[in-house]
Amino acid sequence: MKYKIFTLFLLLSSVLCVSNIQAQSETTYHLPDVEDIRPSDDSITIDQLIKELPESASIDDPLLFLVNRDNLLEYDPYIPFVYSENGQPYHEAMATPLAEMRAAAAEVGYYYNFISGYRSIAEQAFNYESRFNSYLYEGYSEADAQYMTDQYVAPSNGSEHTTGLAVDLLGAEFGYELYVSYQYEPSAQWLAENAHHYGFILRYLEGKTDITKINFEPWHFRYVGVEHAEFIHKHGLVLEEYIALIQERDSRQELD
**Annotated catalytic sites, by residue?**
217
Q: 90: helix, coil or strand?
A: strand
Helices within the chain (DSSP H only)? 46-52, 95-107, 121-137, 142-150, 186-194, 209-212, 226-235, 239-255
Interatomic CA distance for residues 229 and 203, integer angstroms: 10
CA atoms within 13 A on the CB side of 153: 23
Rounded-to-integer distance, Cα 216 and Cα 214, Å: 7
Edge-to-edge strand list for the sheet holding 112-116: 112-116, 166-171, 220-223, 200-202
- Backbone φ and ψ for 249, nearest 5 degrees, come out as -60, -45
Q: How far apart are the first and last CA of the chain?
A: 28
Long-range contacts of 143-152 (CB under 8 A, 24+ apart): 150/213, 151/214, 151/215, 152/178, 152/214, 152/215, 152/217
Nearest to 64 by CA among 203, 211, 168: 203
Q: Is 7 helix (H, G, I), strand (E, B) or coil?
A: strand
